[in-house]
Structure 1
Amino acid sequence: MHNVVYYARVSTDEQGQLNAIENQINMLEGFINKNMEWEMVGKYIDRGKSATSTKGRIEYNQLYSDLETNKFDIIIIKDLSRLNRNPLDYYKFIDRLVKNNKRLFLYTDNKFYESDDSLINGIKAILAGEYSRDISKKVNAGIRQKQKDGIPMTNGSTWGYDQKRGSKKLTINEEEAEIVKQIFDWYCEGKGFRIIYKLLEDKNIRNSNGKPFAMTTLKRIIRNEKYKGILICNKKHKDFDTKEIYDNPENEWIIHKTIIPSIISDEIWDKANEILSTKKRKNTVLDKEVITGYFSGTQLYSGKIICGQCGRTFWHTIISGKSNWQCKEYRNFGSKKENKDHGCWNIKLHTDELNKMVKQTIYNFVINKDSVMKKVMNGLKCSLLDNNDMKRYDKSKNEIEKLNNRKERLIDMMADELISKQEYINKKKSIDEQIEKFKTEIKSINQIKENIKSKTERLNGLEHILNIGLKSYEGVTDEMIKESLDKVVVISENQYNIYIYGFRYEANTNSPFVPTTR
């Protein structure tokens, strides 16, 4: 008996075909069930996904990953085009398939993939890729013509407008349009996106998905030219090979000024966008313009500062020209209010103070290297596998081999009609459960091995840090911080837990920076 899975896929274009995916599924499942030596143990289905790339194909990527497991022996697909239309992806899949002793059955060809088929199937993948490229060119040409004709192409979620299926026009949704007008009015009155977010939430106004408006969505509303009746097309393009989206230069934009009914007057739209533009300021650290009140990019401590009150990360911001960090929950919702689900009391951390505390902590860590190394080595010693672990590991491997042999004998017994198919399934299930227990045992021991390996590898970096001669905390560099700092947990506005190589230190801003090891 062989464990079998199937992979089914339809593209976005094929979704419109009546029962396209259902027919494919029924065909493959029916074929599997008719084979007495096959047992279906799983399925992988991608709906509305192109085969020109593996990006976004969740089920395909899971199948590709599962090739390295023992979940199945055989994969069945309708034909090669269901799997890949990209030659490189095709050869990568086949390479992993062969290395892991899996078999691929092609339903349309009614045969298993063989190594001799590699070249011809590779050519088929190339032809399929070129076919997809040609289709893409034709689709893009059609889209460009619609853009020139001034036909709005939306996903139907542009707030304030409706576009009926197949319609060439946008019509105003009066209820939503009033909300758009209110957002512009609030912004022109000087209210920021955080305040507008709260006002909308207080009025229980949600987006088309029934969720609160994101502040980034509010910014996009202010920037959207459609609201003053201007349609701008061809701002971006998608590269067929990389699947990435790129900006087009302004001289390639297609602009229509009388196609869309306006919701906002030119004066209000221009005023709101002028206000938004004035909130741009130069970030001297990143050397680029950012909007005040928005996350400003990757910093030395990005992702490493955790709020001890609500568990959210801290975001970098510039306040009065100075570098600071604030809890994301506070940034989005302000101070915590009674009976409110959102907000946080943990509000601000100056980068200068943070730098001083972290550097002092690392400095103390380095100058006490003898005690540090002793604790690290003791921790590593506690993790080491003992002789009993190795015995359990060897025993589990031997038991799995025995159980697999028993499964093979069961197949022979069923073939000789000594047991029924149902008896075979029941006995096989019992054996598989035992195998899984031993695999769990092996996995546990392997995890110990990985932890030891990880700690040993990190020990090399630790030795490098400890061997640096430091005369004061000011000698600690950014590279040393990147290497040694695990995280900073902000308990309150002036109390912190700083983790260096897994060791926790306490620090606060009201006393000298001499952290206490925990």
Structure 2
Amino acid sequence: MRKVTKIKENNGEHKLKSKLRVAAYARVSTENADQLVSLEAQKHHYEAYIKANSNWEFVGIYYDKGVSGTKKEKRTELLRLISDCENRKIDFIITKSISRFARNTTDCLELVRKLTDIGVFIYFEKENINTQSMDSELMLSILSSLAENESVSISENNKWAIKRRFRNGTYKLSYPPYGYDYLDGEIVINKKQAEVVKRIFADALSGKGSQRIAQELNDEGVPTKRGGQWTGTTVRGILCNEKYTGDLLLQKTYTDETFKRRANKGELDQYFIESHHEAIISHADFEAVNEAIEQRGKEKGIKKGNNKYLNRYPFSGKIICDECGSTFKRRIHSSKTNKYIAWCCSKHLSKIKECSMIYIREDRIHEAFIMMVNKLIFSHKVVLKPLLRNLKSIDYADNLMKVQEIESKIEENTERVKVLVNLMTKGYLEPALFNTQKNELRVEAEKLKEQKKALYRSINGGMNKVTELQQLLKYASKTDQIERFNEEIFEQFVDRVIAFSPTEIGFELKCGVTLKERIER
């Protein structure tokens, strides 16, 4: 007879080993497009990285954007992360580097100790530090101290070097203005461009406005310094630039303690160098032009430097002719009974045979805008919500992966350049071979950067549309019908107005949608 052994049942619960709950923290310090796309790439990377580990449970990604890393109090998402850790929702945190987590030594150590005390640990990818396996805080303290001083020291060193060059007169302009080139380290006149500069000043002295001057230059096919189109802003920049008199005013702007660029209105010293280079315009002509510009501004009640100096009206530069692509200009029309404001195609005004688009009354544009907004308020559930779902469904994962790949290639390219320079310095490379290989790497780097920019534009454009549409939906769902034109609402949601005909216009919204409305003559 076979022997049978009975194995008693285990009344204890069969417990599976619980997964480690992992979250990631990311931060970018500016709101510019490239930085925000970089943030999206980080978020995508961390989500994929955490989910790839079968022993980890993905909790989420916490991220701050457009804030400085020097003070933890300014970073709401970091504080929310700490709060969730204290509430036992997170076991482990992954972040890119100490400088992304904290640039203040005290804050960094305080947070690490607080989290360690409750059993939550941090992994810093760049430094390869895991706070769970650290024997002491010495290395973390050193690295976080370096991170704290990194931005300040770099900024201060740069400022000190620039101010030193200001004082001794050796500061070199990063980019000479239109009309000048660099030759052997000196600013020299570009004769062809200088003739255009002289013409711009002569036209301004004759009473022409900057927009008209720009239009005439474009009509004649005169290229700007970068080969683009002339604008009123470009022309005004030339007319107000003292460099054309041969003088040089340094430190017109400065970077404040929060790393924001500001106009220097007496906060810091400025440095004025007379006869720094050859002049194109006389001091008398320069002063006469700027007095005329200032006088025209006073007549219109606008001070130079005011944010309304260039766009005095909500429709300025925003109404586009569908027939010729020109912008519309504001005009006062008079009849026997009354006066009214109208907007006219600038091409039609200057060359009537090249564009047949006639004027549109401003009050009709107001009425069309009110109608369009009220339609969105009434039907936001059936129009805006489905559109938002469609935009959110677009997956940018492939492009984000490509961004990371390109960034890695750019880093490799930079390292290869450093190796080349090192070999050249030690005499292991012939100068001819060094120059050839360095040029090849430079061309490769430029191509990679262009590819990266193209991806940024694609990703950022889609993400911006989602953000703009969310704001529009929020407004439409919480607002009553409007009865009059609201300039703030127009500025917030409308990118431009397309004039399809004198009786039909379209409002091109910032979320990418164009809505057409019929108007009366």
C-alpha distance in 1, partners of 2:332/2:204? 20
- The answer on 1:69 being equivalent to 2:44 is yes
Q: Determine the structure 2 residue equivalent to 1:296.
A: 311
What per-residue deviation string (whole Å, max 9, x for no partner) do you get for residues 360-412 of structure 1?
x589x79xxxxx96x778x489969xxxxxxxx9xxxxxxxxxxxxxxxxxxx
Q: TM-score if structure 1 supplies the norm length?
A: 0.51
Local SS of the residue matching 1:185: helix
**Aligned ranges 1:347-496 → 2 under 5 Å:** 348-355=359-366, 361=371, 379=382, 458-461=476-479, 464-465=480-481, 476=484, 478=486, 490-496=499-505
- The answer on 1:183 being equivalent to 2:200 is yes
Change (3 A) 1:251 1:241: closer
C-alpha distance in 1, partners of 2:28/2:43? 23
- The answer on 1:241 being equivalent to 2:246 is no
Change (3 A) 1:332 1:103: farther
What per-residue deviation string (whole Å, max 9, x for no partner) do you get for residues 133-188 of structure 1?
234223322322322233353123322223346x4x43333333233223222332
C-alpha distance in 2, partners of 1:264/1:381? 55
**Aligned ranges 1:226-375 → 2 under 5 Å:** 226-249=243-266, 252-281=269-298, 288=303, 295-297=310-312, 299=314, 307=321, 309=323, 317=330, 324=341, 326=343, 330=346, 335=351, 338=354, 345-346=356-357, 348-355=359-366, 361=371
Q: Determine the structure 1 residue equivalent to 2:209.
A: 192
Q: Which amino acid is the alignment partner of residue 40 of structure 2?
A: S
- The answer on 1:160 being equivalent to 2:174 is no
Match for 2:241 among 224, 229, 237? 224
- The answer on 1:150 being equivalent to 2:126 is no
CA drift at 1:250:
8.7
Equivalences, count:
356
CA drift at 1:309:
4.2
Local SS of the residue matching 2:146: helix
Q: Which amino acid is the alignment partner of residue 49 of structure 2?
A: D
Q: Which amino acid is the alignment partner of residue 501 of structure 2?
A: S
Contact 1:380 1:455 in 2 (8 A): no
Q: Determine the structure 2 residue equivalent to 1:506.
A: 518
C-alpha distance in 2, partners of 1:266/1:357? 50
Contact 2:246 2:276 in 1 (8 A): yes
CA drift at 1:224:
1.2
**Aligned ranges 1:76-95 → 2 under 5 Å:** 86-87=69-70
Local SS of the residue matching 2:249: strand
Q: Which amino acid is the alignment partner of residue 218 of structure 1?
A: V
C-alpha distance in 1, partners of 2:272/2:346? 40
Contact 2:179 2:191 in 1 (8 A): yes
Contact 1:87 1:125 in 2 (8 A): no
Q: Which amino acid is the alignment partner of residue 311 of structure 2?
A: S
Change (3 A) 1:250 1:265: farther
Local SS of the residue matching 2:481: helix
CA drift at 1:269:
1.9
Change (3 A) 1:303 1:124: farther
C-alpha distance in 1, partners of 2:265/2:341? 35
5+ long unaligned stretches in structure 1? 1-50, 76-83, 339-343, 367-371, 385-392, 394-446, 467-474, 510-518
Q: Which amino acid is the alignment partner of residue 62 of structure 1?
A: V
Local SS of the residue matching 1:196: helix
What per-residue deviation string (whole Å, max 9, x for no partner) do you get for residues 50-105 of structure 1?
x99446582x5434223443674179xxxxxxxx9944599868998997976758
- The answer on 1:207 being equivalent to 2:220 is no
What per-residue deviation string (whole Å, max 9, x for no partner) do you get for residues 206-255 of structure 1?
23322233332221111111211222122221114232323232983322
Cα RMSD (Å): 5.8
Q: Which amino acid is the alignment partner of residue 157 of structure 1?
A: P
C-alpha distance in 1, partners of 2:317/2:219? 31
C-alpha distance in 2, partners of 1:187/1:176? 17
- Segments ≥4 residues shifted beyond 6 Å: 89-101, 105-108, 115-120, 301-304, 320-323, 380-384, 451-457, 479-488, 497-504
5+ long unaligned stretches in structure 2? 1-26, 52-66, 97-122, 388-392, 394-464
Change (3 A) 1:465 1:289: same
Q: Determine the structure 2 residue equivalent to 1:31.
A: none
Change (3 A) 1:257 1:354: same
Match for 1:132 among 127, 135, 151? 151
Q: Which amino acid is the alignment partner of residue 351 of structure 1?
A: E
Contact 2:333 2:341 in 1 (8 A): no
Q: Which amino acid is the alignment partner of residue 362 of structure 2?
A: T
Local SS of the residue matching 2:254: strand
Contact 1:302 1:316 in 2 (8 A): yes
C-alpha distance in 2, partners of 1:262/1:134? 38
Change (3 A) 1:226 1:349: same
Q: Which amino acid is the alignment partner of residue 232 of structure 2?
A: M
What per-residue deviation string (whole Å, max 9, x for no partner) do you get for residues 278-324 of structure 1?
3314556xx65689x9742573x689866554678x77857599985
Change (3 A) 1:74 1:336: farther
Contact 2:333 2:342 in 1 (8 A): no
What per-residue deviation string (whole Å, max 9, x for no partner) do you get for residues 431-467 of structure 1?
xxxxxxxxxxxxxxxx9xxx99986983442xx339x
Change (3 A) 1:122 1:160: farther
**Aligned ranges 1:98-109 → 2 under 5 Å:** 109=127
C-alpha distance in 1, partners of 2:492/2:162? 52
Moved more, 62-71 or 240-249: 62-71
CA drift at 1:508:
0.2
Q: Which amino acid is the alignment partner of residue 64 of structure 1?
A: L
